[in-house]
Amino acid sequence: MVMREDWVVRHLEVTGSTNVDAAELARAHDGQVVLVRADRQDAGRGRAGRNWASPMGGAWFSVGVPVRETELERMIAAPLVVGLAACRGVNRALGLAGVRGVEARIKWPNDLVIHGKKTGGVLCELVAGGSEGGRVLVAGVGVNVNLKAADLPGNLRFPGTTLREAGGRELDVSALVMRCARGMVRLLRVLAERGFEGVLKEAVEARMAWMEDDVVLDLGDGDIQGRIVGVDESGRLKALVDGRVKVFDSGEVRVMGRGS
Ligand code: BTN
């Protein structure tokens, strides 16, 4: 991951999706890190083609980093690494605001949860860069920062919350965005250079929600019970199911929270 240290940064009042903007900006500034942040999005994108509600008060931003051909394989774990950086940034912001006893954790593979409720999500996309054959990893993060519970959509498939609801106070969104974005770029560089196994994997496991707990795993065509035991060297979920460790990839399973 060779990139210039000077970032191209845009702060928009409103846009469709910062992921789309970051991809365009990265094409125009080949080899540079780009950061696009918006106060609100009117076509925010979630995973699996879902919408992502992005009203005022949230942190909606995307970072674009150039990726070399030889690093592509390692980028499989990028969503987890981005989630790790966002998790750290959010917890630092909560700590600096004096909020105690409230901690974001990583809900595998790319959500942030507080007390088991989703407070943020990650959408990573690999797009074409500005140069022939060049690629850019666009890492979009949405965090429900100063939103009230009533601002969250009513049709969520998984219970949601906001940092304001959980921590009882408003946070500085700009500082949170910059802290998370810097962490994302730094950790993505570590991933590109050294791979996921080792420090990154350990750091993710240390912050994973429901680690060593029994959870419900939604396999699309039905639920099973499993105990989360960690992630493998590519970031796939390891869970103990019927006495055996099984490995799941992110297209296969959704973690639905604590089981019975
Ligand atoms: C998910 O949980 O489904 C992922 C949500 C990702 C939302 C963020 S907000 C900033 C960036 N721009 C988008 O359109 N999506 C991501």
Residue 158 confidence (pLDDT): 84
Distance 44 CA to ligand 1 centre (A): 6
Write out pLDDT tens, residues 185-217: 999 999 999 999 999 999 999 999 999 999 999
3-state secondary structure 38-49: EEEECCCECHHH
Q: Which percentage of the chain shows pLDDT scores above 90?
A: 85
Q: Has residue 50 got a pLDDT over 80?
A: yes
Residue 1 confidence (pLDDT): 65
Lowest mean pLDDT segment, chosen from 83-92, 174-183, 243-252: 243-252
Pocket perturbation via mutation, ligand 1, pick of 21, 141, 176 by most ligand atoms within 8 A of CB: 141
Tokens of 46: 């979630």
pTM of the prediction?
Answer: 0.96
Tokens of 136: 């850019």
Distance 243 CA to ligand 1 centre (A): 36
Distance 34 CA to ligand 1 centre (A): 16
Residue 132: band (very low, low, confident or very high) from pLDDT cuts 50, 70, 90: confident
Q: Has residue 3 got a pLDDT over 80?
A: no
Question: What residues line ligand 1, using a CB cutoff of 6 Å?
Answer: 17-19, 41, 44-47, 50, 52, 54, 60-62, 111, 121-123, 140-142
Residue 231: closest CA among 110, 134, 108 = 108
Residue 252 confidence (pLDDT): 81
Q: Has residue 111 got a pLDDT over 90?
A: yes
| Mean per-residue pLDDT of the chain | 94
3-state secondary structure 91-149: HHHHHHCCCCCCCEEEECCCEEEECCEEEEEEEEEEEECCCCCCEEEEEEEEECCCCCH
Pairwise CA distance, residues 106 & 86, whole Å: 9
Q: Has residue 170 got a pLDDT over 70?
A: yes
Q: Which long-range contacts (CB under 8 A, 24 or more apart) does 144-147 make?
A: 144/58, 144/119, 144/120, 145/57, 145/58, 145/59, 145/170, 145/171, 145/173, 145/176, 146/57, 146/58, 146/170, 146/171, 146/173, 147/55, 147/57, 147/58
Pocket perturbation via mutation, ligand 1, pick of 11, 14, 19 by most ligand atoms within 8 A of CB: 19
Q: Are 240 and 226 in contact (CB under 8 A)?
A: yes
- Residue 227's CB: how many other CB atoms inside 10 A? 16
Residue 260 confidence (pLDDT): 58
Write out pLDDT tens, residues 5-43: 689 999 999 999 999 999 999 999 999 999 999 999 999
Write out pLDDT tens, residues 234-246: 999 999 999 999 9
Distance 143 CA to ligand 1 centre (A): 9
Distance 240 CA to ligand 1 centre (A): 30
